[in-house]
């Protein structure tokens, strides 16, 4: 077997899911960047340190769940914000950066 089989298997199957009540606005953003840039952005957004060995996690931004995932050549951020108006009025993407 491949020497990294267990590590690769764990990375593939260990991605956390976000569970939320509807209605909600779900913002899913992808960024090209390395692991350092990913962790720096998440720490800046959430005002909390990230485990340097983590490749994904769930934190909070503005009181709402924020999920981040580091991939080989990019990383993603998913942010869920409950909708006050039942999704009748879609708003612009939030200015979080």
pLDDT digits (tens, 9 = 90+) for 36-65: 888 888 899 888 888 888 888 899 988 899
Q: Pick the more confident residue, 3 or 16.
A: 3
E strands within the chain? Answer: 24-32, 56-61, 64-70, 74-82
Tell me the residue range of the domain where 73 lies.
22-82
pLDDT digits (tens, 9 = 90+) for 82-91: 887 766 666 6
Token pair belonging to 23:
């209605």
14 pLDDT higher than 70: no
66/2: higher pLDDT: 66
For residue 47, being part of any structural domain is answered with yes
Q: Whole-model pTM above 0.85?
A: no
Is residue 11 a part of any domain in this protein? Answer: no
Q: What total number of domains does the chain contain?
A: 1
- The Cα 41–Cα 31 span in angstroms is 10
């Amino acid at each position: 077997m491949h020497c990294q089989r267990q590590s690769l298997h764990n990375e593939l199957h260990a991605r956390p899911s976000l569970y939320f009540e509807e209605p909600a606005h779900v913002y899913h953003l992808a960024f090209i960047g390395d692991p350092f840039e990913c962790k720096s952005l998440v720490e800046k957004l959430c005002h909390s340190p990230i485990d340097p060995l983590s490749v994904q996690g769930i934190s909070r931004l503005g009181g709402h769940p924020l999920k981040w995932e580091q991939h080989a050549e990019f990383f993603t951020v998913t942010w869920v914000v409950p909708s006050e108006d039942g999704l009748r009025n879609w708003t612009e993407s939030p200015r979080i950066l």
